[in-house]
Amino acid sequence: MRAGVLENIYSQRLGVKRLSRQPSIQADLGSTIPQTVEHLLRTKLDGFITRRNQIIHRGPAYYTSSETEIKEAAKVFETLVMGCAEALDKHLQSL
């Protein structure tokens, strides 16, 4: 799923808006500017999907992910999931 698809799921289906304002996401991505955080997160997510497609649809070329790539992807997804959990928790507390 590209970043736009995830954005649709979070904002339209779950009602979570502006994950880029979550302190945990800002801390992990190293910026407190929501636009910068959103850009970094979108770039990373779309990069993972592009890399995935290069691996799956490799044709005659052969490539495997490095341990570093896998750890980086896991950290970004952990950041995203924890930020979403925080946003949902705040939303539920406000009801």
More confident residue, 71 or 11: 71
Q: What is the DSSP letter of 61?
A: -
Task: At 76, list the tokens.
Answer: 């970004």
As a whole number, mean pLDDT of residues 62-73 equals 86
What's the maximum distance between 2 C-alpha atoms anywhere in the chain?
55
Provide the pLDDT confidence category of residue 17 given band limits of 50, 70 and 90. Answer: confident
Is the Cβ–Cβ distance between 10 and 86 less than 8 Å?
Answer: no
